[in-house]
């Protein structure tokens, strides 16, 4: 009788692990296909914003194209058009996909 109980308990323990295995696999897939690429993208965008310098051509998240005139701690002054100067937060500067795709 005791042997039968031990055998049944060991089967229950392995079935619990088998039930948790798909959940674990789903978490691993989410990490490698969603979380990790987004983290890398955010890191690249942060490096891009920190490396801004006077004269760079950028695009804001609102789609405004301009040239960097001045960089402050948290803001950037862009020249939009001929004489128009606008101030933007650094966080509103987007990574221009056209600049990234152009060969150097």
Across residues 4-29, what is the average pLDDT?
Answer: 74
Dihedral angle computed from the Cα positions of residues 11, 17, 20 and 24, in that order, rounded to the nearest 10 degrees: -160
Q: Structure pTM?
A: 0.66
**pLDDT at residue 101, rounded to an integer:** 47
Give residue 16's pLDDT.
79
Q: Read off the pLDDT band of 10 (50, 70, 90).
A: low
Please state, in angstroms and rounded to a whole number, the distance separating the CA atoms of residues 34 and 28.
10
Tens-digit pLDDT profile for residues 26-80 = 999 999 999 999 999 999 999 999 999 999 999 999 999 999 999 999 999 999 9
| Closest CA relative to residue 93, chosen from 45, 53, 55 | 45
Cβ atoms < 10 Å from Cβ of 56: 17
């Amino acid at each position: 009788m005791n042997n039968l109980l031990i055998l049944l308990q060991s089967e229950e323990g392995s079935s619990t692990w088998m039930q948790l295995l798909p959940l674990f696999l789903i978490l691993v897939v989410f990490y490698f296909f969603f979380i990790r690429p987004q983290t890398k993208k955010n890191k690249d965008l942060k490096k891009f914003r920190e490396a801004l310098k006077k004269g760079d051509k950028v695009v804001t998240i609102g789609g405004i194209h301009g040239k960097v005139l001045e960089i402050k701690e948290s803001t950037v002054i862009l020249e939009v058009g001929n004489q128009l100067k606008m101030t933007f937060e650094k966080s509103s500067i987007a990574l221009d996909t056209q600049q990234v795709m152009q060969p150097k």
